[in-house]
Amino acid sequence: MKELGSISLHHLSSIILCILNPWVALGILFLLGFFTSYMTALSWADLTYVLPATSLGYVLLALIAKYFLHEQVSPLRWLGIALISAGVGFVTQGPELTPDPERQQAEAIPLGDKR
């Protein structure tokens, strides 16, 4: 986006040119892929299972920004990432509501039954 400069919502042609930029288009495709996989994961499991996997992205993005893109990541941002990770850890301690088919099947068969 730094290559494209300032974009105004009043100029539709600049927005279209921005979207047609290969890097922006690739970013949009990745975002669509993420939302598709996120929605699919939420349809299969509870948020307490899905959230830890997605929150790992915050840590990975900060590491990529620092070591591959050579951006400055301030201590305040690292603190924010730590707080998000701690919050996710808190959420994962909640009750398990996603059914586990193997466990349900094992609980349904009495111990003395040799089916």
All structural domains of the chain with their residue ranges: 1-44, 45-110
On the question of pLDDT at 104 being above 80, the answer is no
pLDDT at 94 over 90: no
Q: Which has more pLDDT, 96 or 40?
A: 40
Q: What is the pLDDT of residue 110?
A: 58
Residues ≥6 apart with Cβ < 8 Å to 46: 96, 97, 98
Average pLDDT of the chain, as a whole number: 80
Closest CA to 62 of 75, 45, 47, 43: 75
Q: What is the DSSP string of 14-45?
A: HHHHHHTSHHHHHHHHHHHHHHHHHHHHHHHS
Q: What percent of the chain has pLDDT over 70?
A: 77
Which pLDDT score, from 0 to 100, does residue 17 have? Answer: 79
Q: What is the pLDDT of residue 67?
A: 92
